[in-house]
Amino acid sequence: MHTGDLLAQFEIRGLIGSGGMGEVYRARDTVLDRDVALKILPLEWNRDPERLARFRREAKVLASLNHPGIAGIYGLEEAQDRTFLVMELVEGRDLAEIMAEGPLPLERALDIAVRIATGLEEAHRKGFIHRDLKPANIKITPDDKVKILDFGLARALVEEPAASDKLSNSPTITAAMTQAGVILGTAAYMSPEQARGKDVDERADIWAFGCILLEMLTGRAFFAGDTFSDTLASILKTDPVWDDLPAELPRGVLRLLRRCLAKDPGDRLHSIADARIELQDMSREPRTVTGHGSAGGRNGARSWAGWIAAAVLAGVAGVLAVLLLGNGPDSAALPPRLDALTYQGREWSPDVSPDGNLVVFTSDRDGTPRIWMKEVAGGGEVALTSGPDDLPRFSSDGSQILFTRDVQGNRQLYRKTIVGNQLRKVLDDAIEGDWSPDGQSVAFLRARPEIGENTVLVGIATLQSGAERILGSIEKRACYGLRWSPDRSFIAVNTTSLTGNVAETSGIHLFDAETGEVTFTAPTRWTGPYSALEWSPDGKGFIIGQSDHVIAHVTGSPSLIMEYDLAAGTMRPLFWAKLRLPKGSWGSTTLAVLADGDIVLDHQEEFAQLLRYPLGSGAPGSPEVLSTGLSIDRQPVFSPDGARLMYSSNRSGNVDIWIRDLESRQDYRLTDDEAGDWDPAFTPDGQSVLWSSDRSGNMEIWMASIDGSGARQVTRDGVDAENPTMTPDGQWIVYASGSDAKRGIWKIRPDGTEATRLAAGDYLIPEVSPDGRFALFMFIHRLDAHVKVVEIETGRILDFSVELNITQRDENLVFGRARWAPDGQGIVFIGQDEAGNSGVFLTDFEPGGVWDGSRRKVAGFDPRFTTESLGMSPDGGSLVIAALNERRTLERASHVDLKFW
């Protein structure tokens, strides 16, 4: 075709390019008076019905992709013995041209990546994959739009098999690529499965997306070789050099790149939507200087600690500059200020009266958790209830409070007048409650394990009649933070992982108060739990806090307080604070807003020290203190020879594995990856160590030599594998999986093969018996907790089951965390005594029998701390526990820039 030629109503204006699909021309539609692009099929293809059919299928595919980020198709035409597509003409430069000039600025690269992901997300949502995503197929228009071009290789994921499967008939494959084993796609951006000629799905596009993002950041097409064969070899065998990435890379981008460029599709990010959301969240986060050489993961504590320090220094410098210039600081420009409201160190769960003058809260300062009240402006504090009570909520007129009460292991809902001291039971069975805006009804959460494991019902009860209406249920999630919106529209329920699974997204379930229809929202893509939200007065938004890590109570990292616009789906960060975070299925962090816009919140700091108790007759009662300070040292385990103690700790600013030489009392850090490492265990020969880590992007089991060298991933659970323990012969590693599809106790060979589930269920923290025949594990749902035993060879769960008699809930306590006695004839486990104090019990183990209910106190049971985890020496002569302490106070944040108040 030549300039000026007329093809149907299209006047040719010039050649744009040519390739295996034919030629592409700029043209003018003389009927609709617009510029278009024509993709004209080669003449010889018109004589090939199969190729022509494939071309028509492409037109059908493209026509269904109607999105501003994808170049559209206007029609399929035939004229003058030619068949051609009429397509949107996209002006501008393609990404390949732009990147030929060097790497893109960081902000620009991430912005373009988000928009590429948005277009791909739409295509994948409709069931199509691109298969040939590359910089040359991405254009940046003069008005800065990003367009994905040429879905020429796209095929519906649900498409019926083509009439012919001859790869040489694929329109984008050149003659040089028609040999046996030919593969689709441009070589440097092909996924490993494409390079091997295997079937592909949307994860091939995710690989290509990762390649493009890496190239935008580094200016280098990493897998491109001198020859086609060199390129394929690089794709299959070579890993990117992460040190080429810019030093100011935002937190999390490296992890996203690793997950996009995992060579095994099963380990790769499964949804481009997740990549898009993560990148959008990262664009809101502060920039963090990072090293990239050895770490796949990120731990929030280290990154945020550096950012907070920088922010504090910057803020101090700014204030000093203003003062030195002779002007007092403008209060409107000041960052939020945090001041203590209470001082006992044992207060939590605040709520503010409607007039903003009173605060009610929970405190166990006198040994029993009960509801207290104080004036915001100062004055004394008075106990309102007898306890054990928690989670107070003011009614909309401020005349009553609603709260929960624990009665012999059953949580009930009560209401009480502020004046007059009238106390009434509302519901016999409710985890948590909140008032309706008119005060005539209450919303409630109710555990129903008989319906399904860890099932929670969401319902409404009318106060006058007692009639109940169930709106819906939530399964296998920790549920808390029930809040009814002021306009009566929604009842919000926070949910997070029951097991501390880093791959599970935390968020808010919004139940329609009339229909029960539920929607899920998550202001960020962090996995950490949220606080209970506080609705704005008009119900159009809320404030909420969230940690950046699901086990922030272990990492010690702070939480981001933010304001969420419900209609727009956008989040505004406000300030950082140390919040009291839910743990497992317990707890509900509370925020409340005063009349002047100040925020009242839970503040909590924790530390855990290691204590060694001598055992046996004549042993002294006082423990030896092995660690002190404000770090969280936990999960102690002895080496097989008893000479060393391994434990996890956040003392480096990150959760790592540490080892103490018990004779010299010297500690050294075994792991130093930027991801989190915990759940340590020695191998029986003492030459290697096992642990859990999220350095691959989710929790998996890792193994290394005793000096920390040669770290390698053992499991490929893909979601959550934790708490490894090895059989005495070294043949099996037993661990727990929190994946919905794999939940239970598993065993796997040390080389990562033969993964086999031993017991299916919500089971946690296994340990292999000294003779290698059994593994104990724990089951817990609120106050229902057991230590169970499974036979490793057969997977048979024994009748023997230790039932823990939990007298008081304790959100810090993992009931049933257990280990074997060295002779295998006993089990030591964490439980509660009659007074509610936590400690370690010993019970006899009978493989062929049932538990006789006997237990003997061994260590702990000190009301000053919680016994969090334990380790027993191989000779049975001593026991080490992690003694957890905490300080809880209420704080008031002033100078907060709120939009909806």
Task: Please indicate, yes or no, whether residues 593 and 664 belong to a single structural domain of this protein.
Answer: no
Residue 181: which pLDDT band, with cuts at 50, 70 and 90?
very low
pLDDT, mean of residues 871-893: 94
**734 within 8 A of 744, measured Cβ to Cβ:** no
Task: Please indicate, yes or no, whether residues 596 and 641 belong to a single structural domain of this protein.
Answer: no
Task: Please indicate, yes or no, whether residues 649 and 757 belong to a single structural domain of this protein.
Answer: yes
- Which pLDDT value is given to residue 420? 77
- Which pLDDT value is given to residue 753? 97
Reported as a single tens digit per residue, the pLDDT across 252-308 is 888 899 899 999 898 898 889 889 888 887 765 544 334 444 333 333 333 333 333
Which residue would you say has higher pLDDT here, 654 or 870?
870
Range in 388-402, 447-461, 641-655 the model is least confident about: 447-461
Residue 66: which pLDDT band, with cuts at 50, 70 and 90?
confident
Does 205 fall in a domain?
yes
Tokens 């007298």, residue located: 807
Cα separations in angstroms, 694 against 32, 135, 594, 688: 56, 31, 39, 19
Residue 648 pairs in a beta bridge with 634, 657
Reported as a single tens digit per residue, the pLDDT across 792-823 is 999 999 999 998 876 655 554 555 689 999 99
Does 225 fall in a domain?
yes
Task: Please indicate, yes or no, whether residues 693 and 582 belong to a single structural domain of this protein.
Answer: no
Does 171 fall in a domain?
no
Task: Please indicate, yes or no, whether residues 758 and 800 belong to a single structural domain of this protein.
Answer: yes
Q: Three-class SS of residue 434? A: strand
* CATH number (domain holding residue 862): 2.120.10.30
| pLDDT of 326 above 60 | no
Task: Please indicate, yes or no, whether residues 79 and 100 belong to a single structural domain of this protein.
Answer: no
Tell me the one-letter amino acid at 272.
I
Q: What is the DSSP letter of 663?
A: T
- Which pLDDT value is given to residue 503? 54
- Which pLDDT value is given to residue 505? 74
Tell me the one-letter amino acid at 349.
S
CA angle 719, 721, 725 (to 5 degrees): 175
Task: Please indicate, yes or no, whether residues 84 and 102 belong to a single structural domain of this protein.
Answer: no
Does 305 fall in a domain?
no
What span, in angstroms and rounded, lies between the C-alpha atoms of 506 and 525?
8
Q: Give the domain extent around 12.
A: 1-89
Does 176 fall in a domain?
no
Range in 175-184, 235-244, 332-341, 807-816 the model is least confident about: 175-184
pLDDT, mean of residues 558-571: 90
Residue 248: which pLDDT band, with cuts at 50, 70 and 90?
confident
- Which pLDDT value is given to residue 496? 81
Task: Please indicate, yes or no, whether residues 72 and 27 belong to a single structural domain of this protein.
Answer: yes
* CATH number (domain holding residue 45): 3.30.200.20
555: closest CA among 309, 305, 891? 305
Task: Please indicate, yes or no, whether residues 49 and 104 belong to a single structural domain of this protein.
Answer: no
578: closest CA among 894, 891, 897? 891
Which residue would you say has higher pLDDT here, 809 or 557?
557
Residue 18: which pLDDT band, with cuts at 50, 70 and 90?
confident
Task: Please indicate, yes or no, whether residues 71 and 99 belong to a single structural domain of this protein.
Answer: no
- Which pLDDT value is given to residue 555? 73
Reported as a single tens digit per residue, the pLDDT across 146-169 is 999 876 544 433 333 333 333 223
First to last CA, the chain: 65
- Which pLDDT value is given to residue 135? 93
DSSP code per residue over 254-291 = HHHHHHHT-SSGGGS-S-HHHHHHHHHHHHHSPB----
- Which pLDDT value is given to residue 1? 82
pTM of the prediction? 0.61
What span, in angstroms and rounded, lies between the C-alpha atoms of 280 and 250?
11
Query: Residue 840: how many CA atoms within 13 Å on its side-chain side?
Result: 28
Reported as a single tens digit per residue, the pLDDT across 695-739 is 988 889 999 999 999 999 999 998 889 999 999 999 999 999 988
**547 within 8 A of 557, measured Cβ to Cβ:** yes
Which residue would you say has higher pLDDT here, 604 or 409?
604
Hey, how many other C-beta atoms are within 10 angstroms of the C-beta on 31? 9
Task: Please indicate, yes or no, whether residues 739 and 652 belong to a single structural domain of this protein.
Answer: yes
| pLDDT of 570 above 60 | yes
Strands of 341-377 (E only): list them. 347-352, 358-363, 370-375
How many structural domains compose the chain? 4
Hey, how many other C-beta atoms are within 10 angstroms of the C-beta on 135? 22
Q: What is the DSSP letter of 121?
A: H
Percent of the chain exceeding pLDDT 90 equals 51
- Which pLDDT value is given to residue 713? 97
Percent of the chain exceeding pLDDT 70 equals 84
Does 684 fall in a domain?
yes
pLDDT, mean of residues 436-458: 84
Range in 5-9, 379-383, 752-756 the model is least confident about: 379-383
Phi, then psi, of 456 in degrees rounded to 5:
-120, 130
What span, in angstroms and rounded, lies between the C-alpha atoms of 714 and 733?
9
**649 within 8 A of 615, measured Cβ to Cβ:** no
Annotated catalytic, 351?
no
Cα separations in angstroms, 757 against 433, 702, 754, 768, 817: 38, 18, 10, 15, 21
Q: Given 94, 132, 351, 720, which residue is catalytic?
A: 132
Task: Please indicate, yes or no, whether residues 77 and 136 belong to a single structural domain of this protein.
Answer: no
Does 893 fall in a domain?
no
Q: Determine the length of the chain.
A: 901
Tokens 């000479």, residue located: 643
Range in 427-436, 498-507, 855-864 the model is least confident about: 498-507
Average pLDDT, the chain: 84
- Which pLDDT value is given to residue 153? 45
668 φ/ψ sector (left φ>0, alpha ψ -120 to 50, else beta) = beta
- Which pLDDT value is given to residue 312? 39
**609 within 8 A of 629, measured Cβ to Cβ:** yes
Does 14 fall in a domain?
yes
What span, in angstroms and rounded, lies between the C-alpha atoms of 600 and 616?
49
- Which pLDDT value is given to residue 143? 87
- Which pLDDT value is given to residue 173? 28
